[in-house]
Amino acid sequence: MGNGNTVSSRIDPIFKLKTPILFGHRGGVLEAPESTVMAFRHALEVARVDVLELDVQLTRDGRFVVWHGPDLNNVRIEGIDDRPSKRERNKIYDYDWAELDGRAWVADPAVKSLDVNEIDLSGVPKEDDRQLLLFDVFLKKFHHSPLNIEIKESFNRHINDADRKGLKDNLRVFSDILNADAGNRIKVVVSSIDDYIDEFREQNGEKYPTGLSTKEQLILHVLGMKMKNRAFETVHSRLFTTPKIINQVREKGGATFVFLTEFGPLFPALDEHEPSEKDIFEILDRGVDGIMTDRPKSVRDIMDRWIAAH
């Protein structure tokens, strides 16, 4: 079985964990209300993930919220129409935090399969562990788990005319929150937007491991590059994570983590439904260091069987 890589005996150079590593994507989008305390507890306690994956967006007034979005189609908001298709404002950055604080609850995963015109959120329970979370509150609640943090498009928004005029200023404040985190754990910062990750590194140097930007991923495939303190996070397809590329990343000091989630119509999600053992085994046999998934409990069970077989 496999291509000769003994993945289960490797310690990855980014998180310093025994591979293969399991990531709970937004806590497990298809197993719990995404990006909530409920989801992250499910990921840690039920799915036994190694790393929590989360996204961070900005509200209109510049607060950092754990949310992928930017749409709020699966979020019930106090005083706002329970039908997202009828809302005049439906992006996370359309709201000040005071409008969402203790007043916004995330729906169960089934809502994500509906067309926006079919969604009615009036039945979403107003439970504390379903509420939207500020990033600094999340860090305090989950202060032990290693983190994979994606900074999203709203980081470039103008907040005020004093000290928050755009990307550089927002990243400075975000970095202050990271630096204040008392948790003794690895925090990897990633972004699909080249300028964002470049600016984050400009401000923080090599203090935090970072993911390759889109530009760097192209360079990696064509020319190769140094990978120390770098994570290659990409689509699950063998076209992008061949054994040759994975070994190249290893030799240069990096790690390869793949998403089972959808990457456009050419690369459908492997975890939209219950993932197959065959697909997961094939990915692990290539030698990847970790898997990010919307169904961490399902993948954990398969991953455990793969580890036992090796």
DSSP string, the chain: --SS--GGGPBPTTT--BSSEEEEETTTTTTSSTTSHHHHHIIIIIS--SEEEEEEEE-TT--EEE-S-SB-TTEEETTS-S-GGG-S--BGGGS-GGGTTTTEEEPPGGGGGS-GGG---TTS---GGGB--BHHHHHHHT-SS-EEEEE-GGGG----SSS--SHHHHHHHHHHHHHH----S-EEEE-SSHHHHHHHHHHHTTSS-EEPPHHHHHHHHHT----TTEEEEEES-TTTS-HHHHHHHHHTT-EEEEE-S--STTS--SSSSSPPHHHHHHHHHHT-SEEEES-HHHHHHHHHHHHHH-
Mean pLDDT estimate for the chain: 95
Q: What is the pLDDT of residues 261-287, one digit of tens each?
A: 998 788 899 999 999 999 999 999 999
Q: What is the pTM of this model?
A: 0.95
The answer to whether residues 20 and 288 touch, using CB atoms and an 8 Å cutoff, is yes
Q: What is the pLDDT of residues 227-246, one digit of tens each?
A: 999 999 999 999 999 999 99
Picking from 211, 204, 225, the residue whose alpha carbon sits closest to that of residue 289 is: 211
Q: Say how many CA atoms lie within 13 Å of 64 toward its Cβ.
A: 25
d(CA 3, CA 55): 33
Taking the CB of residue 168, how many other CB atoms lie within 10 A of it?
13
Q: What is the pLDDT of residue 65?
A: 98
Q: What is the pLDDT of residue 4?
A: 43
Q: What is the pLDDT of residues 84-104, one digit of tens each?
A: 999 999 999 999 999 999 999
The CATH code for residues 7-68+147-309 is 3.20.20.190
Q: What is the pLDDT of residues 180-209, one digit of tens each?
A: 998 789 999 999 999 999 999 999 999 999
d(CA 64, CA 175): 11
d(CA 4, CA 243): 10
Average pLDDT over residues 118-140: 98
The answer to whether residues 254 and 224 touch, using CB atoms and an 8 Å cutoff, is no
d(CA 118, CA 121): 10
Residue 8 has pLDDT above 70, yes or no: no
Tokens 């749409």 sit on residue: 71
Q: What is the pLDDT of residue 1?
A: 40
* Beta bridge pairs of residue 106: 75
Q: Give the type of residue at 34.
A: E
